[in-house]
Amino acid sequence: MIQTNLKQLVEYAKAYCMLPKADEYYTFNRLLLLLNLDDCGADEPIPSVEGMTGPDAVLEPILAYAVEKGIIDEGQTEAFSSRLMDTVSLRPSQVQAVFEEKKASLGLKAATDWFHDYCEKTDYVKRSAIEKNLRWDAKGEKADLVITVNLSKPEVDNKKSAAMLHKKPSGYPSCVICRQNEGFTGHGTVRDTLRTIDVTLDGTPFFWQFSPYAYYYQHAIIINTEHTPMIVNTTALRRLMDFVDQYPHYFIGSNAALPRIGGSLLVHDHYQGGLEQMPMHRADYRTVLSAPDAKVKVGILEWYNSVVRFESDDREAILATAARMIEAWKDYNNAALGILSESAGEKHNSCSPVVRRTETGYIIDLILRNNRTDETYPDGIFHAHPEYHNIKKESIGLIEAMGLYILPARLNRQLFKEAAAYLCGKPYDGDALAEDMQVHREMIELLLSRHGNSLTPEEAEAAVRSRINEVCDAILKNTAVFDENTGSEVFRAFVVSCL
């Protein structure tokens, strides 16, 4: 009986969502209202919720009932699921209060661990969906990269991201990460169970939340309370340092604030952080340079794209040194290397700063970026080149610049199922490929020339992964504004000029 399923959801909420026992009848009655019911049903045994890591098993029969009775359409299950979970969850102010209490009594990391677990238990962080993502380590030329095929987030079109930057705010909320999204369900968004934590950065109110898509462990998004465009400058760097002063166990970084090199959302100032160590974090110096301020160590990283690392235990010294480079890069030009800071009124140079705290002080990595296009590379000169667009055409943002790839879900079917089938003996005719498979024609034919068509399914999957690894390795090289071979001395000279 459906009422028993609702009672199980109340038991789940008492066990994992901090629903007070004093609120259980009230909450159960709110759930009855959502299902158009007016009685408690028969007295049946309530299935156990012990050991559950998320609410999926509890929600499944309730959602099926709602569809069967016409309460919702099949396409509305995610939204209705979120409404159910919001009904049994703590209010935003209560989450903030519990977080502060745990921070005071158990410590900062325990508080953030609790907050992350709570967001999973309420199904805002989609743990069950995240666990379906494909993820593997890839041996690259310079480092071990991490490749993921994200099955929970749609692809982002670079041109749409650029257009959004110039679109005036309209409606309510102004964008999908505004603070007003807490509990909001309009415009196709589902934010009933969104919960956030307040934080002040350089005197400015921010808040932070965990990403429901979670590209990596405890993927946090730190968001300006005001709807204002992204900008990378000295103030942004100071804010990043303020965050790691308050949350020293997290890294935090900012996307470059320009289309094509700045991720998918530039209209609202925000940063990204988390607990996972990124491949770039493990990179060592290629060249260490002498800085006039002996308190700051400066060097060029042995990495794919153009990264300068700063290290110091002196906050003001490292801030001043890195800030000089941020400002100098905005106006830097080198026509021989294709680096122009501006053309046709469009700015091209920006950077992605990444900040960490260690036992010995601060580390700042500045990833230098340029978003120019030309006739040969209409999607970006320092972007994934056209021969790799079948794998990745979207912006190479902060996370991927650090060596963790988020590849589109379409590849799971297109490559690991359809392309792999040709390596296992399925007859191949390039001219007969479906329209959405034509982009992979060159790759399929390359794989067939390398491996033939008699592989086992396991061998075919390994072959596909190997080619994806090669492409991701090459894409990171494409994003380097100073080519390692032709621009290394110029890169060095630029860094020295900023010290």
Q: With bands split at pLDDT 50, 70 and 90, how would you rate the model's confidence at 232? A: very high
Q: If pLDDT is split at 50, 70 and 90, which confidence band does 168 have?
A: low
State yes or no: cis peptide before 173, omega within 30 of 0: yes
Nearest to 185 by CA among 76, 90, 66, 265: 76
Q: What DSSP line would sit under 219-266, residue for residue?
A: -EEEEESS------SHHHHHHHHHHHHH-TTSEEE---SSTTTS-S--
Lowest mean pLDDT among 126-140, 145-159, 240-254, 397-411: 145-159
pLDDT in the model for residue 457? 97
Structure tokens at 100: 């502060």
Residue 338 pLDDT more than 80?
Answer: yes
pLDDT above 60 for 170: no
In tens, the pLDDT along 473-482 reads 999 999 999 9
Query: What is the domain partition of the chain in residue ranges?
Result: 2-89, 133-169+227-406+483-498, 410-478
What pLDDT, on a 0 to 100 scale, did the predictor assign at position 160? Answer: 43
Q: Is the pLDDT of residue 165 over 50?
A: no
Alpha-carbon torsion, ordered 316, 318, 320, 323, to 10 deg: -130
What local confidence, expressed as pLDDT, does residue 290 receive? 77
pLDDT over 50 (residue 118): yes
SS3 354: strand
Give 352's Cβ-side CA count (13 Å radius): 34
SS3 201: strand
pLDDT above 80 for 205: yes
pLDDT range class, residue 263, cuts 50, 70, 90: confident
Indicate if the pLDDT at residue 78 is higher than 80. yes
Residue 164 has pLDDT above 50, yes or no: no
Percent of the chain with pLDDT over 90: 87
Contact partners, residue 463, CB within 8 Å, separation at least 6? 420, 423, 447, 450, 451, 455
343-380 residue pLDDT tens: 989 999 999 999 999 999 999 999 999 999 999 999 99
In the predicted structure, residue 166 carries a pLDDT above the cut 60: no
- Reported as type and span, the H/E element at residue 208 is strand 204-210
Categorize the per-residue pLDDT at 189 as very low, low, confident or very high, splitting at 50, 70 and 90: confident
The model carries a pTM of: 0.92
Could you tell me what percent of the chain has a pLDDT over 70? 96
Q: Residue range 327-337: average pLDDT?
A: 96
